[in-house]
Structure 1
Amino acid sequence: MYLATIGVYALIIALTDANRPMGSLTYAATLFVIWIGSALVVRLLPPESGSAAVSNSAAVGMLAIGVAIYFSVFRLQHIGWSKWLALLLCIPSLNLAFLLALVAMPGKSAMLRYQSAIFRNKSRDR
Structure 2
Amino acid sequence: MKPTFLSAAVALTMAVSMPSFAAGHDDRHDHFEGKAAANLAEALANLQEYNQKLAEILNGELTPQKMAEIHQLTYTLENALERIEEEIDDMQDDLEDVHKGSERMDFDKVKAKGAKYIEASNQLVKGLK
The TM-score with structure 2 as length reference comes to 0.38
- Structure with more relative contact order (C-alpha pairs < 8 Å, separation 6 or more): 1
The TM-score with structure 1 as length reference comes to 0.39
